[in-house]
Structure formats: C-alpha cells, structure tokens
Amino acid sequence: MTTRRTILVIDDDPAMRDSLAFLLDVNGFSVTTHETAADFLDHFGRSNVDCVVSDIRMPGMTGLDLVRKLKADAVACPVILMTGHGDVALAVEAMKAGAIDFIEKPFEDEVLLHAIRDALDSQPAKPADDTAKRQAETRLADLTPRERDVLRGLLAGKINKVIAHDLGISPRTVEVYRANLMAKTSVRSMSELMRIAIAAGL
C-alpha cells in the first residue's frame, strides 16, 4: 500500500480549511489543518509533514514570516503560499524568501494539486543550483531584450504603468509583453514566471 503524503494546511478561514482538507483527502493525501502559523509551529516537532499550504495574510505570524522562520531553522519542507490579495511584488518577495510556489485565491482545484505534486516531486532529488540556473536560462533564451526589460520590471515588483513609464512605452504594450513572456516560457502563472527569473539570476 502506498503511503499517503501529509499536507499541512494553515488558514484562519474555517471554510477554506475544510474545503482544502476535503479536496486533498479525496485526492489521496493525508491532511492536517491549523488556524495559525504559531499553532502549526507548536505542533511541528511532533508531526511528519511533506508539504505546507499556507495563507499569506493571517493574524499574528504571516505566511511570509513562516517561510522565513522555516528557512532560518533549516527546515526543508516545501511551502506553497496562497493569497486573496495577490500582486507581483508579493509573489517575488515570497519566492525570494523561499516559498516554492505562490497561488492566488480563488483558484481551480487542479492549480493547487499541480503545485503540491510539483513541490513533492522536487524534494527528493533537487537539482544542483547551477543545473537549476541553466534550466531557467534555457526557458528565457528566446526572450527579446525588451521582453527581458519588462521581466526585470516585474521582478522588481513594479506595476505595468511604472514599467511602461520607465521604458517609454504604453501600459497596453507592457501587457502584450507580459503575455509574450507567459507564452514563450510556457508558464501557467505569474509566480511560476517569477520563480524561473529568480533561478536564472535575472
């Protein structure tokens, strides 16, 4: 019998916790839930967790604080952050802090399940840093110089209007470049694009 992987859900919204617990349970995962990051940390030493799915905005310790705490304590467990107030700057901050993915609510069930499976698959044999960097650079190889400029602006957490002003182009043109970036790198989300850009050292 295959061992069920344990996913830990942290969200201060009881309905969201119950919904995610049900979704993960019917998809073959063992699930534990907590209302706050502090509550999770109180129990963490006594539980075996394969992946953490946490809301980012919670009373007390935020999801971002939790990622930083786990990284500081050298805990290798992957963390996926969720937010109902997603923006690119927050996604970049989350990735740089060590989150493995960042998804915006509301999301399709498959988006979360895919993120969790990716997180679990990446754990046992994580590529060496230089390998990950080369893979990311390959994904960005077809970008034009101007597309790279737009990507750097996004990575800096700038909104379309600011990027447009910096580059002397219209906000609509920035939107076109953003769509090109998503298509050329074959990503499904802005957070995935940010992860590739960070890995490439852009």
Domain end, chosen from 74, 101, 122, is at 122
Indicate whether 25 and 55 sit together in one domain: yes
Identify whether 1 is part of a domain.
Answer: no
Percent of the chain with pLDDT over 90: 37
Indicate whether 134 and 73 sit together in one domain: no
| CATH number of the domain within which 48 lies | 3.40.50.2300
Indicate whether 23 and 102 sit together in one domain: yes
Indicate whether 70 and 133 sit together in one domain: no
pLDDT tens for 14-43 read: 999 999 999 999 999 999 999 999 888 887
Indicate whether 117 and 188 sit together in one domain: no
Domain that holds residue 31: 6-122
For residues 176 and 135, which has the higher predicted lDDT (pLDDT)?
Answer: 176
Q: Where are the alpha helices (DSSP H) in the chain?
A: 14-26, 37-44, 63-72, 88-97, 109-122, 129-140, 145-155, 160-167, 171-185, 190-199
| CATH number of the domain within which 177 lies | 1.10.10.10
How far apart (Å, rounded) are the C-alpha atoms in residues 189 and 102?
A: 9
Please give the pLDDT value at position 2: 57
Indicate whether 183 and 136 sit together in one domain: yes
Identify whether 31 is part of a domain.
Answer: yes
Instruction: Return the minimum-mean-pLDDT range out of 101-105, 119-123, 175-179, 186-190.
Output: 119-123
pLDDT class for 1, splitting at 50, 70, 90? very low
pLDDT tens for 95-138 read: 888 888 888 888 889 989 988 998 888 654 444 557 777 888 88
Indicate whether 71 and 10 sit together in one domain: yes
Angle between helices 63-72 and 88-97 (to 10 degrees): 20
Mean pLDDT computed over every residue of the chain: 85
Identify whether 162 is part of a domain.
Answer: yes
From residue 130, how far is each of 15, 44, 200, 201 by CA, in Å?
Answer: 42, 32, 9, 11
Indicate whether 93 and 137 sit together in one domain: no
Give me the number of domains the chain comprises: 2
How far apart (Å, rounded) are the C-alpha atoms in residues 82 and 96?
A: 15
Residue type, 7: I
